[in-house]
A and B are shown apart, each in its own frame.
Chain A
Amino acid sequence: MVPDHPTSDLAGEVRRVAHLARLALPDEEIPRFARDLERILAHVRQLQELDVEGVEPTAHAMPVTNVFRADEPRPGLTREDALANAPASRAGLFLVPRILE
């Protein structure tokens, strides 16, 4: 079943989800996204009225499965190409802030 959220909870949900999605939203943006989420969820809730018992989900419209190609080496991006767009790189590597103490 779909939970029925009052708006105050939805603000909390937006914070939780924004963290999961790695979006550092400023506090003043939260109510707006909570309102939008509430309206959109109210609209999509109409799907609950349908009986989908025994209906297979469609993940892709075309029935294509298990497409294989020969496992052979082929040209790819050079290290230089791959790093060309990096905001920061050093010694042929992407540079990020320290992640281990």
Chain B
Amino acid sequence: MSRAADVAGWTVAEAVERLDAEEISSVELAQAVLEAIGRRDGAIGAYLHVDADAALAAARAADERRSRGDRAPLLGVPIGLKDNISEQGQPCGCASRILRGYRAPYDATVVRRLREAGAVLLGRLNMDEFAMGSSTENSAFGPTRNPWDRTRVPGGSSGGAAAAVAADIALAALGSDTGGSIRQPASFCGCVGLKPTYGRVSRYGLVAFASSLDQIGPLTKSVDDAALLLSVIAGRDPMDSTSLDAPVPPADVARTAPDTLQGLRIGLPVEYFIPGMDAEVEAAVRAAIARAADLGAEVREVRLPHTRYAVAVYYLVATAECSANLARYDGVRYGLRIPAEDVIEQYGRTRAAGFGPEVKRRIILGTYTLSAGYYDAYYLRAQKVRTLIRRDFEAAYRECDLLAAPVTPTPAFRLGENVDDPLNMYLGDILTIPANLAGLCAISLPAGRTASGLPVGLQLIAPPLEEARLLRAAAALERAMGPRERPPRTEEAR
């Protein structure tokens, strides 16, 4: 790799440009990224599984397509997948013991679209078990470390995806976001994370956690890459009845965005600058917002008065849905089985042995609130308050085009710091959860670092299906804030 010392650090757009110019082949690019994984992922632990043979075969096929004049948008681009997105023939264990040995029998729609676009799939990225968590410490296979400070978490639940992209051992990745699981790790690791509008991207082949909130989206090194990946994976899919038939923003929507934010009204939700927020996080976010004002945006305060109820609503809605979705893990059709004489006992023992503590906690809460006598008081009331939260946003968007806010109240916390305090862990999601509850699109982009070097993210939140507006504003801000910063590198073989 003399011509390119740091191939794995390229953005998707850079890689496509060099592949198109025949400066490098898809096979050389895949080899370079696989070597980087082999050399450095031991220090990070982002990947649960890497299939080098499959990646190289896909890269050879991409070179072949290119030689025939094919110019598919991701031809030869190496991409990682969160371990809850089905990839035919590969493990898809959701970082859970209960799916031990399971291999996906079909491709998720997003994976089919990535393949058609020519992407080279690298492997399976670590996550909190079944996407339940905010630190990737709930993985049954051990935590992933934050590339900026290996004593800290990468965030979660898409922690492996964010860490791999930040540490330059994937050019980009797909994750999923149910209550912030793309944006929060992107913020902790200093990369870009896009949660599309609910329904923008097909969930077919995404292992279900909370079906009314789950959404797949990209984690990337640039806003431009996020737009490019979105253009590939988004769109109506007959296999997901909740997917929306709406025009998808073009791949170059960020690249062609003007430098100015003239005419854009940005709302600052006062409730998102919460008491107890880390002062350096607040300062970095306010500085980024000042930058937006410099670019011509009109910044004004808005109110989202029901924000304080969002975590409660989320943990009732998400756990109720998860308790139903996870009923399928019974040791009959796939995964772990702890044999017993009686089938009921076999279910109980299999599930007790297969699920980790956080998953059990949420199944218990969800089953409790849905059980006889409690439904109206908990689940139904939560759904009604969800309506109030949605109305808050509708009112705010009458006064502004976009909302700007922090992604999290703190930068990345230490491994082990919150594991014994689930409620405290949940409360850290207060700034990302509302976008899921209201079905909005939102993005996290790097907005500087703390004095000790930890990344801080800026969150932009747009109305449903306004990804083009979101990505244009994010692109202008990204340009104004300067080139991407990279974490220090530690060589430690996988």
Contacts and interface: CB of A to CB of B under 8 A. Distances in A.
Contacts of A3: 374
A81 B197 CA distance: 33
A1 B355 CA distance: 32
A60 B361 contact: no
Contacts of B361: 33, 36-37
A36 B154 CA distance: 25
A58 to B, nearest CB: 4
Given A40-B423, A60-B242, A86-B333, A23 B352 contact: yes
Nearest to B439: A61
B332 A47 contact: no
Given A37-B368, A62-B198, A21 B384 contact: no
B97 interface: no
B413 interface: no
B372 to A, nearest CB: 10
Interface string B375-394: 00110111111111010000
B105 interface: yes
Nearest to A56: B387
B334 A61 contact: no
Interface string B90-103: 00000000000111
B325 interface: no
A35 to B, nearest CB: 10
A71 to B, nearest CB: 12
Interface in A25-72: 25-26, 29, 33, 36-37, 39-40, 43-44, 46-48, 50, 52, 55-62, 64, 67, 69
Contacts of B105: 77, 81-82, 84-85
A21 B388 CA distance: 31
Given A26-B352, A47-B381, A87-B337, A40 B439 contact: no
Contacts of A57: 380, 383-384, 386-387
B316 interface: yes
Contacts of B315: 40, 43-44
A58 B383 contact: yes
Given A2-B378, A23-B360, A26-B352, A86 B332 contact: yes
A32 to B, nearest CB: 8
B378 A97 contact: no
B385 A22 contact: no
Given A37-B368, A47-B312, A24 B349 contact: yes
B32 to A, nearest CB: 34
A91 interface: no
A22 B324 CA distance: 12
Contacts of A47: 309, 312-313, 316, 381-382, 385
Nearest to B368: A17
Nearest to A42: B423
B422 A36 contact: yes
B49 to A, nearest CB: 16
A61 B212 contact: yes
Given A33-B361, A52-B388, A87-B336, A59 B345 contact: no
A50 B16 CA distance: 52
Contact of A60 (B212, B323, B363): B212
B364 interface: yes
Contacts of B383: 57-59
Contacts of A14: 364
A97 B212 contact: no
B330 interface: yes
Nearest to A64: B242
A97 B422 contact: no
11 contacts: A2-B377, A23-B352, A37-B368, A46-B308, A50-B306, A52-B385, A55-B387, A62-B464, A87-B337, A94-B332, A96-B343
